[in-house]
C-alpha cells in the first residue's frame, strides 16, 4: 500500500481495509462484508480522481516541453511520461475487466447497483487462484513496477514490487500461518468473500496509480514543469523597527515578494561575530570549533530561522549591532545550481530588568526577601534563572525568587534560557532593633496580632498588685514587619525577676523560661508599693523557614514596675 503521496482520505481507506481484512479472518457476519462494499467504492472513487490528475500531469509535462522549445532531451522525458501513463491505463483496464468478470460470475448487480453475490466465498478463489488469473495479474503489476524502477528512477531498490508474496511483506514474513503463501492465495485464497476480493483488486489499483504519480512527478522535475517559476506572490512589509515609541516615526518599505511552488530550495543561516568592534565579521564557531551553520526548514518557499538573540556589549542607546548570513540554494532551469547570499544586520536591545519587592532599596540580612524579577521585553519567552553572590536563593520559577543575604551586599545575576541578561545589586542592612514591652493578657504573643493600648503596661503608672500575670513581649520594627511579615516572629524565652520591698529584695532571683511571668505563683504575698524588677535574658526570632536565631539588638532589656 505504498508509492507516491497519499491523501489523508486514502490513508484512512487503507487502514479500514486492513482492519476489515483482519475481521474477516474471524468469520464475522454480513454487516462487516457490507463495509467492504463501501471500502471498494471509496477506492474506486479515489482512483478515478487520481487517474484524472495523472492525465493532467502528462499534459503539463507536454506543455512544459513545448514552452522550453521542444528540446530533444525534454521530448525523451515526455515520451517516457506517455509510456508510464499508457502502460498504467492498460493494466487498470485489465483489472477492471477482472472485477467485472467476478461480478458477473456472482450474479451482477441489483437495480440499486449493489452486488448480488457480495457474500460469495468461492468465486474469487476459483477465478484468481484455480484459473490462474492471479498469476497473470502479479506478472503484469510487477513488470510495471520494474519498468518504473529501471527507466524512471534508475534504482531498483527505490521501488518494490506491486504484487508481493507473503514472504516479501514484513508483517507476514515470520508468520507460520501466512508466510508461505504466494501473492494469489494471500489476497484471493480459499473462503475469500467476493466483495473482499474486489476491494483487494481496487487497493492494488490504488498502489499502481500511486506509483504512476511518483514516476510522473519524477519526470516533471526534469523539464519545464519544475522550472523556477515565481507563482506565489505576496505583499511584504519591511519596517525599520517593529516596536515604535509613541511620538516616534514609523518607517517601512512595501514590496512584492515571489516564490516558486514547484521547487523546495535549500536554505541556511550562519551567525556572524566581530572581534574588533564591528569593523570585520566572521562566521561564529560552535563548541567543536566548526563554523555554526543552521539548515532551515522550508515551507511554501519560505525558510524559518529562529535563534536566541545575544549581545556582548551595548552602545549609549542600549543597542548592540549583530549580523548573520542567509543563503538560499536553488536549481535553475537548465540544471544550474545557484546560491543567493546576503548579510542581514539587526540590533539587540539591552533588556530592562524590573524588580518588585517590599524592600527594593536594601535587603534584610538572614531574611527571606521575596523579589519578582521581570523583563517585559521578553514576553512569553521569559524563562529566567538566577545566581547570586552574597546570598542564597530559593525558587526562581516565573521570576519569583527569594533572596537570603549573608554578606554586606548582594549581586543577583539574571539569565534567560541560559543567556545572561544582567546583574542587579542590592545593599544589605541588619534587622532593625525590636522593642520590648510589658503586656497583660494574651495580647502580643503573635506579632501579627497588634497589641491594643489597653493591654500595654505603663511603667509610669505601674501595675495593680492584684494582677496575676504579665507578659514580656517583642514588637518588631514597623517598617521591617510591613515589608517582611513572616520574618517578625519574635519571642522572649528567658527572663529573670526579683521583687523588692522597701528597697530590699525578697528572696533570690527567679528564672522564668517563658514570656509570661506568673505573679500569683512566684510572689503570692506581694503588696502595694512593692517593686517588680524584670531582666530580659534571651530573645529568639524565627524566620520564614521557621529557623530560629538569637536576637541581641533589642531594647530595653530591664524593667522596674511598681505595684499599686
The CA-CA-CA angle for residues 459, 461, 465, to 5°, reads 90
Architecture of domain 354-429: Sandwich (2.60)
Mean pLDDT across the chain: 84
- Distance separating alpha carbons of residues 562 and 532, to the nearest angstrom: 6
Least confident of 94-98, 258-262, 336-340, 369-373: 258-262
* 398 alpha carbon, distance to own chain's centre: 17
What is the CB neighbour count within 10 angstroms for residue 516?
A: 16
C-alpha gyration radius of the chain: 44
User: CB under 8 Å to 361, separation ≥6 — which residues?
Assistant: 427
Contact at 8 Å (CB) between 375 and 354?
yes
Of 8-22, 39-53, 218-232, 416-430, the least confident = 8-22
Query: Are 530 and 497 in contact, with CB atoms under 8 Å apart?
Result: no
The pLDDT, as a whole number, for residue 1 is: 45
Q: Within a 13 Å sphere around the CA of 113, how many CA atoms are in the beta-carbon half?
A: 3
What's the mean pLDDT in 511-528?
Answer: 93
Residue 327 and residue 268: Cα distance in Å, rounded? Answer: 5
Q: N- to C-terminal Cα distance for the chain?
A: 106
pLDDT, residue 14, reads: 55
What is the C-alpha separation between 540 and 537, in angstroms, rounded?
Answer: 11
Q: Where are the beta strands (DSSP E) in 97-251?
A: 232-239
The arithmetic mean of pLDDT across residues 77-103, rounded, is 94
SS3 content of the chain, % helix, strand, coil (to 5): 35, 30, 35
**H or E segment and range at residue 562:** strand 558-562
Alpha helices in 260-339 (DSSP H): none
Q: What is the number of other CB atoms lying within 10 angstroms of the CB of residue 291? A: 11
Residue-level pLDDT at 442: 67
* Helices 194-220 and 30-67, packing angle to 10 deg: 20
**Of 13-27, 353-367, 476-490, 497-511, minimum mean pLDDT range:** 13-27
In three-state secondary structure terms, 405 is strand
Q: 190 φ, ψ to 5°?
A: -55, 135
DSSP 399: G
How do residues 158-169 score in pLDDT, each as one tens digit?
788 999 998 888
Strands (E) in 367-416, as ranges, are 369-374, 384-389, 391-395, 400-405, 409-416
Domain ranges (residues) in the chain: 8-226, 232-349, 354-429, 435-562
Position 211 scores a pLDDT of: 93
pLDDT of the residue at 26: 44
Burial of residue 101 (CB within 10 Å: 0-12, 13-18, 19+) is middle
Mean pLDDT check: name the lowest of 16-20, 34-38, 110-114, 396-400: 16-20
Contacts of 49 (CB under 8 A, 6+ apart): none
What pLDDT, in 10s, does the model give residues 238-275? 766 655 555 557 677 887 877 776 677 889 998 888 88
**pLDDT of amino acid 3:** 46
Q: Name the helix (H) or strand (E) containing 348.
A: strand 336-349
Q: How far apart are CA 513 and CA 497, in angstroms?
A: 11
Lowest mean pLDDT among 8-22, 132-146, 150-164, 238-252: 8-22
Contact 388/413 with Cβ under 8 angstroms? yes
Task: Decide: residue 43, CB within 10 A, 0-12 exposed, 13-18 middle, 19+ buried.
Answer: buried
% of the chain at pLDDT higher than 70: 86
At 493 the three-state DSSP class reads strand
| CA distances to 128, 279, 280, 378 from 276, in Å | 80, 6, 7, 29
Among 500, 480, 518, CA closest to 561:
500
Q: Is 135 a residue whose pLDDT tops 50?
A: yes
Task: Give the mean model confidence (pLDDT) for residues 104-120.
Answer: 86
pTM (2 decimals)?
A: 0.48
CB atoms within 10 A of CB 53: 13
pLDDT band at residue 25 under the 50/70/90 scheme:
very low
Span 319-324, average pLDDT: 83
Q: Which letter does DSSP use for residue 212 in this model?
A: H
Q: Is 545 helix (H, G, I), strand (E, B) or coil?
A: coil
Amino acid at each position: 500500500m505504498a508509492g507516491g503521496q497519499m491523501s489523508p482520505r486514502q490513508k484512512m481507506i487503507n487502514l479500514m481495509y486492513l482492519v476489515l481484512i483482519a475481521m474477516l479472518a474471524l468469520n464475522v457476519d454480513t454487516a462487516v462484508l457490507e463495509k467492504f462494499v463501501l471500502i471498494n467504492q471509496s477506492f474506486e472513487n479515489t482512483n478515478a480522481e487520481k487517474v484524472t490528475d495523472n492525465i493532467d500531469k502528462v499534459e503539463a509535462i507536454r506543455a512544459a516541453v513545448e514552452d522550453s522549445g521542444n528540446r530533444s532531451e525534454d521530448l525523451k522525458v515526455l515520451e517516457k511520461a506517455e509510456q508510464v501513463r499508457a502502460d498504467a491505463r492498460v493494466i487498470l483496464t485489465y483489472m477492471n475487466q477482472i472485477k467485472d468478470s467476478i461480478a458477473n460470475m456472482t450474479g451482477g448487480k441489483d437495480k440499486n447497483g449493489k452486488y448480488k453475490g457480495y457474500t460469495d466465498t468461492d468465486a474469487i478463489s476459483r477465478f484468481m487462484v484455480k484459473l490462474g488469473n492471479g498469476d497473470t495479474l502479479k506478472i503484469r503489476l510487477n513488470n510495471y513496477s520494474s519498468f518504473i524502477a529501471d527507466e524512471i528512477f534508475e534504482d531498483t531498490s527505490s521501488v518494490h514490487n506491486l504484487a508481493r508474496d507473503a514472504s516479501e511483506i514484513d508483517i507476514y514474513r515470520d508468520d507460520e500461518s501466512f508466510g508461505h503463501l504466494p501473492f494469489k492465495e494471500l489476497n484471493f485464497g480459499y473462503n475469500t468473500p467476493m466483495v473482499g476480493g474486489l476491494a483487494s483488486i481496487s487497493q492494488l489499483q490504488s498502489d499502481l496509480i500511486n506509483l504512476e504519480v511518483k514516476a510522473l512527478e519524477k519526470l516533471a522535475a526534469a523539464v519545464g514543469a519544475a522550472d523556477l517559476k515565481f507563482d506565489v506572490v505576496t505583499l511584504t512589509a519591511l519596517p525599520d523597527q517593529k516596536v515604535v515609541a509613541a511620538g516616534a516615526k514609523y518607517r517601512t518599505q512595501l514590496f512584492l515578494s515571489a516564490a516558486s511552488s514547484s521547487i523546495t530550495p535549500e536554505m541556511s543561516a550562519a551567525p556572524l561575530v566581530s572581534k574588533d568592534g564591528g569593523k570585520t565579521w566572521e562566521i561564529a564557531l560552535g563548541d567543536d570549533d566548526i563554523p555554526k551553520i543552521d539548515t532551515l526548514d522550508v515551507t511554501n518557499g519560505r525558510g524559518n530561522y529562529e535563534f536566541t538573540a545575544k549581545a556582548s556589549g551595548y552602545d549609549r542607546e542600549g543597542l548592540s549591532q549583530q549580523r548573520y548570513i542567509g543563503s538560499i540554494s536553488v536549481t535553475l532551469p537548465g540544471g544550474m545550481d545557484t546560491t543567493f547570499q546576503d548579510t542581514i544586520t539587526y540590533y539587540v536591545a539591552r533588556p530592562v530588568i524590573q524588580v518588585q519587592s517590599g524592600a527594593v532599596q536594601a535587603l534584610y540580612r538572614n531574611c527571606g526577601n521575596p523579589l519578582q524579577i521581570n523583563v517585559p521585553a521578553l514576553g512569553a519567552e521569559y524563562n529566567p534563572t538566577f545566581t547570586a553572590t552574597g546570598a542564597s536563593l530559593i525558587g526562581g520559577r516565573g521570576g519569583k525568587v527569594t533572596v537570603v543575604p549573608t554578606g554586606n551586599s548582594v549581586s543577583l545575576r539574571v539569565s534567560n534560557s541560559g543567556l545572561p541578561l544582567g546583574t542587579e545589586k542590592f545593599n544589605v542592612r541588619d534587622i532593625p532593633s525590636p522593642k520590648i514591652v510589658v503586656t497583660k493578657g494574651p495580647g502580643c504573643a503573635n506579632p501579627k496580632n497588634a497589641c491594643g493600648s489597653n493591654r500595654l503596661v505603663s511603667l509610669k503608672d505601674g501595675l495593680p498588685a492584684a494582677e496575676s500575670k504579665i507578659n514580656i513581649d517583642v514588637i518588631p520594627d514597623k517598617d521591617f514587619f510591613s515589608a517582611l511579615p513572616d520574618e517578625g516572629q519574635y519571642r522572649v524565652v528567658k527572663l529573670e525577676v526579683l521583687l523588692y520591698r522597701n528597697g530590699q529584695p525578697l528572696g533570690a532571683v527567679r528564672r522564668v523560661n517563658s514570656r509570661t511571668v506568673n505573679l500569683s505563683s512566684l510572689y503570692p504575698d506581694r503588696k502595694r508599693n512593692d517593686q517588680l524588677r524584670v531582666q530580659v535574658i534571651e530573645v529568639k526570632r524565627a524566620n520564614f523557614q521557621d529557623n530560629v536565631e538569637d536576637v541581641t539588638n533589642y531594647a530595653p532589656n530591664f524593667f522596674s514596675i511598681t505595684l499599686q
